[in-house]
């Protein structure tokens, strides 16, 4: 059944947005944007301290390590052959 309203945190049809990160220096919860995760330089908006990057996991769909996985990362392709990632970003 298709979605009628897109939830950006879902991750079924496209990679979900990164979850908020807690700053190790000031302790605030900071929203992290996709561009800073891809550039591998996440900074706290309050104090400017470095934020931890999300862990990369190996995608079962394409076989690459990805920091912003979608729902396909947990499933293997039906034919068993690794496919090309339809999103093409977030790889380590």
33-71 tens-digit pLDDT: 877 877 788 888 889 888 888 888 898 888 888 888 887
- Per the listing, tokens 């330089």 go with 41
| pLDDT value at residue 26 | 92
Q: Return the bridge partners of 57, or none.
A: 66
43 forms bridges with which residues in the sheet? 50
On average, the pLDDT of the chain sits at 81
Residue 36 is given by DSSP the state: H
CA distance 10 to 50: 26
Please list the alpha-helical segments (H only) found in the chain: 34-39
């Amino acid at each position: 059944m298709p979605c009628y309203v897109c939830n950006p945190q879902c991750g079924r049809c496209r990679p979900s947005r990164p979850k908020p990160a807690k700053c190790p220096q000031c302790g605030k919860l900071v929203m992290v944007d996709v561009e800073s995760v891809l550039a591998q330089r996440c900074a706290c908006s309050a104090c400017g301290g470095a934020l931890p990057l999300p862990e990369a996991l190996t995608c079962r769909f394409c076989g690459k390590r990805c920091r912003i996985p979608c729902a396909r990362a947990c499933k293997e392709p039906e034919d068993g052959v690794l496919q090309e990632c339809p999103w093409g970003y977030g790889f380590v």
